Amino acid sequence: MHTGPLGTLERFKGVGNCPAGYAARLRETRELFVHLCFCLLFGVVGVKNRITMTYLTVPIAAKDIESAKEQIKAAQKGGAEMIELRVDYLDQLNASMVRELISETRNIFGRKKLPIIVTCRSVRHGGEIAYPDQLRVNVLVGALQVGAEFIDLEYESFLSTENKEKIIRALSQSSKGRLILSAHNFNGKFDDMRKLHRRIMTVYPAAIPKLVYKANHINDCFEAFDLLHSTSGERIIFCMGQAGLVSRIIAKKLGAMVTFASLDEKTATAPGQLTIDRLKKLYRFGDINSETELYGVIAFPAAHSLSPAIHNACFGKARLNKLYLPLLVEGGKAEFGLFMNNILNRGWLNFRGFSVTIPHKQNALNFVGKNQGFVEPLAKKIGAVNTILCSRAGTLKAYNTDYAGALDAITSKLCITRNDFKDMPIAVIGAGGVSRALVAGLSDAGADLKIYNRTVEKARKLASEFGCSYAPLEDLENIEANLVINCTSIGMHPDIDATPLPKELLKKDMAVFDTVYNPSKTLLLQQAKQKRAKTVDGVSMFVNQACEQFKLFTGTEADVKLMSRVLKENL
Ligand code: NAP
């Protein structure tokens, strides 16, 4: 939906009698008219130094010139495409320090002449040191005089006639200098971001608008995506905070002029800023373009998910124009539904598939069912899905690759087929989500299952649903099984010295599968090996379920070795 200037004109049709409201609308109409005239003018004659790519920009935030130089060298090594000199971090700032820093940056980058933004942020907008307005403006004017490509000033500060006149004069004397007019909201969304965007473009139409706000939920990001989608030319629009992280990555797909990345976590200048290394290596920033298809893991929390690392590595290896994102969807059914509808209403975002994990596996099943999508029959029985496919036309398909991944891990490690599960006595420890997927898959394959759980009532419920037996954890001392599967979190990092089954109960003719994958060699598996029992680790289950997802996402086989390697490297 296009809600740009034309959308605003539509609203004017209902102008009321209220004089104050009328005056405000009249002012808006005037602004809009001026804005359109300037757009036309600049569209025809063009402006200096127009940019079309998305620059991976590293902010340099240091207290003194020497430390700034170190940071600039690190940014050059890291592959920065633009430098932002955040001179509000410099102690005892003056215009000559900024000139020196610009010249040092030029020296460090040598022949590779990369553009420089000079920013002297006010504290109200996230600046580090409270320098007076006059000094901040003088510093920016000085930066233009020595050839900085961009200066960034808050739109709010530019409204002062004195500041405006000084900046415009300096811009007119600079052959290439451009002005970024920025607005920030560190608490949440802007009241009316489109209006703010229009105002910025009206007050100085040659400006590059920068609108940045904190996303308190991933659903807050869609307003920023919409503004990027419905505007063109140079603009910088993204969201801060963990919930806004995706907006920094897909800024390139949506054609923003800049995305900011820090050298490391310590030097980040805004909440949610990624490091240049993660952006380039993990999210393959260099390969993103407007055609890139999007995938992601819907989770809460999402930051520590290993899925982006393994899927992006495989997309990269197969040279697929696909990108896999961590999608932090906080909340329950309502927030999940809103997120999915936000995606489905914006086909241009090109989302094609999702992994789904805690706490949304059931929400995903319900959402796809309600939207007349296809749900794999066993996933219905399990009551959870972990994979959603989304077609270009917006139709949905849902699967559960957890059970298939687990069964494949067991059959391949034990050199058996799924038919061999028939009547096999299997002990499943745990009665949570993973246990449920395994119990459904194994009972479907005809196994003779007994579920052991700390909370016996949960074991009883699960057992009655799938026609198996159950017992409390204490009964494990009488365990009789060819295969034991740990589906609890016992033994998982950081409690790596714990095991759900004491060593004396393990036997040589027993195969042991631990679904815990961090660490990959749990105490349970180490002790089973000491007893010469066959073992299957959680890494192989994780890799197998991810391979199944990859096949669903791409129609091709994943590189299993690469997935295992990346997973182990990231654990
Ligand atoms: P879940 O739904 O929360 O279930 C956790 C299970 O662990 C419940 O049965 C719970 O018993 C039991 N449990 C937890 N702490 C315990 C303790 N101290 N003593 C005894 N029992 C305890 O979690 P889930 O989604 O099923 O995940 C379980 C584990 O599977 C995870 O920790 C993870 O390591 C592993 N996993 C592996 C993969 C893979 O691909 N390899 C994927 C996902 C998960 P109660 O019912 O009594 O609370």
**How confident is the model over 126-143, as pLDDT tens digits?**
999 999 999 999 999 999
Q: Residue 10 — pLDDT band, cuts 50, 70, 90?
A: very low
Q: Is 487 in the pocket of ligand 1 (CB under 6 A)?
A: yes
**Structural domain contains residue 485:** yes
**Structural domain contains residue 497:** yes
* CATH code for position 432: 3.40.50.720
Rounded to whole angstroms, the Cα distance separating 325 from 323 reads 7
Q: Is 326 in the pocket of ligand 1 (CB under 6 A)?
A: no
Distance 23 CA to ligand 1 centre (A): 62
Domain shared by 220 and 356, yes or no? no
Helix count and strand count (H, E) for the chain = 21, 21
Q: Is 463 in the pocket of ligand 1 (CB under 6 A)?
A: no
Domain shared by 359 and 434, yes or no? no
Nearest one of 234, 172, 149 to 197, comparing CA atoms:
234
| pLDDT reading at 19 higher than 70 | no
Q: Is 545 in the pocket of ligand 1 (CB under 6 A)?
A: yes
- Give the per-residue pLDDT at 33: 56
Nearest one of 426, 534, 546 to 487, comparing CA atoms:
426
| pLDDT per position as a tens digit, 510-542 | 999 999 998 999 999 999 999 999 999 999 999
Closest approach atom of ligand 1 to CA 458:
46
| pLDDT reading at 434 higher than 60 | yes
- Pair 511, 536: CB distance under 8 Å: yes
Closest approach atom of ligand 1 to CA 435:
26
Domain shared by 163 and 312, yes or no? no
Local structure of 46: helix, strand or coil? coil
* CATH code for position 376: 3.40.50.10860
Q: Which of 234, 264, 290 represents a domain boundary (last residue)?
A: 290
Q: Is 441 in the pocket of ligand 1 (CB under 6 A)?
A: no
Domain shared by 286 and 306, yes or no? no
Percent of the chain residues past pLDDT 70, beyond the cut: 91
| pLDDT reading at 377 higher than 90 | yes
Distance 430 CA to ligand 1 centre (A): 6
- Give the per-residue pLDDT at 341: 98
Q: Into how many domains does the chain fold? A: 4
| pLDDT reading at 557 higher than 80 | yes
| pLDDT reading at 16 higher than 50 | no
Distance 323 CA to ligand 1 centre (A): 30
Q: Is 517 in the pocket of ligand 1 (CB under 6 A)?
A: yes
**Structural domain contains residue 462:** yes
Between 114-123, 260-269, 289-298, 347-356, the lowest mean confidence (pLDDT) is in: 260-269
- Give the per-residue pLDDT at 230: 97
Atom 15 (ligand 1): residue with closest C-alpha?
Answer: 489
- Give the per-residue pLDDT at 490: 96
Q: Is 353 in the pocket of ligand 1 (CB under 6 A)?
A: no
**Structural domain contains residue 415:** yes
Local structure of 309: helix, strand or coil? helix
What average pLDDT is seen over the chain? 91
**Structural domain contains residue 565:** no
| pLDDT per position as a tens digit, 391-422 | 999 999 999 999 999 999 999 999 999 999 99
Q: Residue 483 — pLDDT band, cuts 50, 70, 90?
A: very high
Distance 381 CA to ligand 1 centre (A): 20
Between 97-106, 262-271, 384-393, the lowest mean confidence (pLDDT) is in: 262-271
- Give the per-residue pLDDT at 29: 57
- Give the per-residue pLDDT at 267: 81
| pLDDT reading at 180 higher than 80 | yes
Rounded to whole angstroms, the Cα distance separating 312 from 299 reads 17
Distance 111 CA to ligand 1 centre (A): 56
Q: Active-site residues: which are they? A: 361
Domain shared by 232 and 171, yes or no? yes
Q: Which of 257, 290, 323 represents a domain boundary (last residue)?
A: 290
| pLDDT reading at 9 higher than 70 | no
Atom 35 (ligand 1): residue with closest C-alpha?
Answer: 516
Distance 373 CA to ligand 1 centre (A): 29
Q: Is 516 in the pocket of ligand 1 (CB under 6 A)?
A: yes
Domain extent for 59: 51-290
Tell me if the pTM is above 0.85. Answer: yes
- Pair 338, 282: CB distance under 8 Å: no
- Give the per-residue pLDDT at 39: 46
| pLDDT reading at 38 higher than 60 | no
Domain shared by 147 and 240, yes or no? yes
Q: Residue 364 — pLDDT band, cuts 50, 70, 90?
A: very high
Q: Which of 242, 267, 290 represents a domain boundary (last residue)?
A: 290
